Structure 1
């Protein structure tokens, strides 16, 4: 064998070993996350933006007891879903640690402050809008393909679980951000919801084009009941009816486009997550779930601890497990665990057409 042939042979052997070392295990299930601060696990830490959770007391109950970029006292919803999958948490896509074998776990593309619309969150400046998150998903697949090959990459993405959480900011940080906001002058609320839904359908369609085949789509939560809304809009501690109306208009139409997409595709790709119902369970009866309150945030200031950001200067409750809300907008880790339990085993009132346990079992049989 000539010297060139030997070099070529060695090079091909090394390449085949590299690909073999990064082959997709039949037991592996990657996890991809898209959306806003409810599911962001640290991407905004790498951006010059004010929408960050990188200072104490965020992360006070995380295993490291340090802020991680999660808008939580501890774990957030994607972390707890990863526990259920039996895998390590996904890394933020912008993390320099996301390389090599860690790519097989999946990636979290979420960015606090974003919405369905590109003008949602403009006050936060440099955030990863959903169109950019989808471009990063394409880029991720190209990166993984260099390690596993295109066929293995396609298989990993097709078999992966995907979570997307959008919509709340389009109301709170856009339509209702200020009185007579540009969007509220442009659209009546019903027309605005229809516009959001039409744009969301395009986003979900693009996810399918990029290979997603098992997608959990969360609706908006009870935006009128979070401590921030109570502090700004409620005189008696009751949920604000206008923001509740927004959720009541949005969620059924979201389910409708999910049904339309599944019908067009010819199989169940998208599963609707009734986040409003999941939250309202413990908001309506906090004591039943072990909370002392669902109105007052653990960390914050002003009425209901609902004003401003959670900082070292904020009021801080000593026991986070007694509070349904960690900060003015985001559930505590305990509340997140209650929510994920409904992801896993909830009836069709919570998860439609199937819950996550059934979805995962269906994936194992195919």
Structure 2
């Protein structure tokens, strides 16, 4: 009887020692802003043509077709996993405002400028996303955090992930039939306009309590199948369009450095999605990729648009760069996210490992 009791105690201690150690998240919350590269389902609740709540979107995602514009996880999802946090739910979902571990305000087809993407339906531009974040701070978070000091600490230690600006070109400047911005602004002047607007919204985020912000630059839009094929450059990047986008990207580092210098205790990190993405397109084997010009899913308009509902995707999405005519595969998002986590050349001046310790 005594031997049985000793064995039982020993077994309990052994199992306790062998059980996984519970660790605290590296940050209290992850707040996500941007466009369809980060949208986790907000557009599902808006009157818009731009949605991804149907297969084959989400065909490799545990929760299925949630509204993510890819086959699996986004950059924001991979970073949430690293931080030890749940995926940030879309703000417009019924569960959104009750989350203490972060929210996703990103909205497909929208951008920095208010009218970007408007021809496709309703979406949340960057200013509107920050308006919703302000509402979260004023109405929702105080119900879950006991006092202003806790709220301030929560906001200052949270990570803010931003990817915005692509649609200001795709669904605005490069669409002269619907928008007159390319007639009103030269490429460099338009880039200055975007940077000026972006600066104002960053200052708003800071005043609301945000301190640790990661902003990704705009990817090589001239390489998108939706653009290259539409201009009869199938398989080739249109460098003239990449050059137009570069005027924005070239101004972004100075903006973020100035923000960090002028706003006390803030850190603005630049994510080099453009150079990393372009290198992967030109040197696919380095990244374990094979196809960097064709969409993985069958799309409308011969590869120039979104996936056709219920169509079968390619056999090996992990070997493809593009998921549809505009968006990347989970495999590429994984590369960008993990480089940002531990590589200071992809996310600078500090990577995410360092940012969470600041």
Give your verdict on TM over 0.5: yes
1:281 shift after superposition? 2.4
- Which residue pairs with 1:357 in the alignment? 353
Moved over 3 A (4+): 25-28, 178-181, 300-303
Mark the CA change 1:178 to 1:292 in structure 2 (over 3 Å): closer, same or farther: same
User: Secondary structure at the residue paired with 1:316?
Assistant: coil
- Which residue pairs with 2:71 in the alignment? 73
Measured in 2, the distance between the counterparts of 1:272 and 1:116 equals 17
Mark the CA change 1:99 to 1:182 in structure 2 (over 3 Å): closer, same or farther: closer
Given the alignment, which residue of 314, 326, 332 partners 1:329? 326
Structure 1: which 5+ runs fail to align?
1-24
Aligned 1:90-129 pairs, distance under 5 A: 90-100=88-98, 103-129=99-125
- Which residue pairs with 1:233 in the alignment? 231
- Which residue pairs with 1:8 in the alignment? none
1:280-304 Cα deviation digits (max 9, x unpaired): 121111122222211011013478x
1:239-290 Cα deviation digits (max 9, x unpaired): 1122100222111201111111112124442111111012112111112222
- Which residue pairs with 2:46 in the alignment? 47
- Which residue pairs with 2:58 in the alignment? 59
Measured in 1, the distance between the counterparts of 2:168 and 2:258 equals 22
- Which residue pairs with 1:187 in the alignment? 185
Given the alignment, which residue of 128, 136, 140 partners 1:140? 136
- Which residue pairs with 1:22 in the alignment? none
When the two chains are superposed, the root-mean-square deviation of aligned CA atoms in Å is 1.9
1:93 shift after superposition? 0.7
Structure 2: which 5+ runs fail to align?
1-23
1:352 shift after superposition? 1.7
User: Secondary structure at the residue paired with 2:144?
Assistant: helix
Measured in 2, the distance between the counterparts of 1:302 and 1:122 equals 21
Answer whether contact 1:43 1:94 (CA < 8 A) is retained.
yes
User: When you count helix as a share of all residues, which structure comes out higher?
Assistant: 1
Answer whether contact 1:230 1:295 (CA < 8 A) is retained.
no
1:212-235 Cα deviation digits (max 9, x unpaired): 100001110011111111211243
Measured in 1, the distance between the counterparts of 2:70 and 2:106 equals 15
Mark the CA change 1:68 to 1:124 in structure 2 (over 3 Å): closer, same or farther: same
Aligned 1:1-366 pairs, distance under 5 A: 28-64=27-63, 66-100=64-98, 103-142=99-138, 143-148=140-145, 149-178=147-176, 181-235=179-233, 237-301=235-299, 305-312=302-309, 314=311, 316-348=313-345, 350-362=346-358
Measured in 1, the distance between the counterparts of 2:219 and 2:92 equals 27
Measured in 2, the distance between the counterparts of 1:266 and 1:98 equals 30
1:6-39 Cα deviation digits (max 9, x unpaired): xxxxxxxxxxxxxxxxxxx896520100110000
Measured in 1, the distance between the counterparts of 2:196 and 2:181 equals 16
Answer whether contact 1:115 1:170 (CA < 8 A) is retained.
yes
User: Secondary structure at the residue paired with 1:361?
Assistant: coil
Mark the CA change 1:267 to 1:97 in structure 2 (over 3 Å): closer, same or farther: closer
Mark the CA change 1:141 to 1:181 in structure 2 (over 3 Å): closer, same or farther: closer
Measured in 2, the distance between the counterparts of 1:167 and 1:236 equals 24
Measured in 1, the distance between the counterparts of 2:342 and 2:129 equals 29
User: Secondary structure at the residue paired with 1:95?
Assistant: coil
1:306 shift after superposition? 2.4
**What number of residue pairs does the alignment pair up?**
333
